[in-house]
């Protein structure tokens, strides 16, 4: 994909107008239009300005091949263009974290295999059964909310980030072949609510780019009733999910014995 096309993709992914980009960068609308139409190329300093506004690394605009869209699933999606900006920040943070892991020679693949099936044949009873199995396999004990974040980050290698955004009762997740799995929690939420969102946040299989998905998933546990003993449940699948679904599953149990 040409540089001009990547500039347009990056701007469109944030739902920004040329006028909005001009206000943020000082680069005129006519000049931005010429960049995107391939009539001229930006200078390096201009490209850096645009990369910062679009929340993309410079390398994105210099790569060959098609620009693969990064799918982000929401519990409740914020209003546009705020949603697109938060999504881009999540992906950028995950990529930066992965680059830091590589530089420190501490990069390990995300270990969350997927269990797949059809929503029509998947019941709430099955979801609850899988939730109990998930808790046992991860060795989360009687108070899973106290250990879930640590286990997902240290054992399953899921990247978890906390940002401020509205609505406050929401969360998001994404999955990438490069940086693995990442979950976004709302920093405005109290601790028990973030644990609840973490326990119920699904991760999308990598082939969901063209699958229409409603952003709210159904959970079989109420946060108001289980504040101190949150069940790290896999999301219950209901009619709001696509016909084929996937969610994280792990085979490993952390070593809880003292050295």
pTM value is 0.71
The domain that contains 20 carries what CATH number? Answer: 1.10.260.40
Look at 69 and 154; give whichever has higher pLDDT: 154
Q: Are residues 79 and 35 in the same domain?
A: no
Mean pLDDT of 27-34: 96
Strand pairing class (114-118; 244-248)? antiparallel
pLDDT of residue 209: 36
pLDDT of residue 210: 35
Q: Are residues 219 and 117 in the same domain?
A: yes
Q: Are residues 51 and 79 in the same domain?
A: no
Q: Are residues 120 and 78 in the same domain?
A: yes
Mean pLDDT of 127-142: 77
Q: Are residues 144 and 236 in the same domain?
A: yes
CA distance 69 to 15: 14
Look at 10 and 215; give whichever has higher pLDDT: 10
User: Quick count: other Cβ atoms within 10 Å of Cβ 236?
Assistant: 21
The answer to the question of residue 124 being in a domain is yes
* Overall domain count for the chain: 2
Mean pLDDT of 189-214: 61
pLDDT of residue 178: 87
Q: Are residues 26 and 98 in the same domain?
A: no
Residue-range definition of the domain harbouring residue 49 = 3-62
The answer to the question of residue 256 being in a domain is no
pLDDT of residue 225: 30
Q: Are residues 170 and 54 in the same domain?
A: no
Residue 237 has pLDDT above 70, yes or no: no
Query: Which residues have a Cβ under 8 Å from the Cβ of 193 and sit 6 or more positions away?
Result: 169, 186, 223
Mean pLDDT of 207-216: 34
User: Tokens 């609308």 appear where?
Assistant: 29
pLDDT of residue 240: 30
Tell me the pLDDT of the chain averaged across its residues: 76
């Amino acid at each position: 994909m040409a540089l001009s096309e990547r500039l347009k993709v990056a701007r469109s992914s944030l739902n920004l107008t040329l006028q909005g980009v001009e206000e943020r960068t000082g680069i005129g609308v006519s000049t931005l239009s010429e960049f995107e139409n391939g009539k001229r190329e930006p200078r390096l300093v201009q490209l850096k300005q645009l990369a910062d506004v679009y929340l993309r690394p410079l390398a994105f605009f210099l790569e060959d091949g098609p620009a693969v869209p990064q799918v982000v699933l929401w519990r409740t999606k914020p209003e546009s263009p705020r949603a697109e900006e938060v999504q881009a920040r999540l992906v950028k943070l995950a990529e930066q974290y992965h680059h830091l892991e590589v530089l420190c020679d501490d990069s390990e693949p995300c270990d969350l295999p997927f269990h797949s099936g059809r929503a029509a044949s998947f019941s709430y009873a099955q979801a609850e059964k899988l939730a109990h199995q998930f808790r046992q396999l991860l060795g989360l004990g009687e108070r899973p909310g106290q250990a879930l974040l640590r286990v997902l980050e240290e054992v399953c290698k899921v990247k978890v980030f906390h940002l401020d955004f509205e609505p406050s009762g929401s969360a998001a997740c994404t999955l990438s072949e490069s940086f693995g799995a990442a979950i976004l929690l709302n920093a405005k939420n109290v601790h028990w609510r973030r644990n609840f969102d973490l326990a119920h946040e699904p991760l999308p299989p990598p082939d969901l780019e063209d699958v229409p998905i409603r952003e709210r998933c159904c959970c079989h546990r109420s946060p108001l009733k289980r504040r101190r003993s949150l069940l790290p449940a896999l999301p219950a699948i209901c009619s709001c999910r696509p016909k084929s679904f996937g969610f994280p599953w792990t085979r490993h149990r952390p070593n809880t014995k003292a050295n």
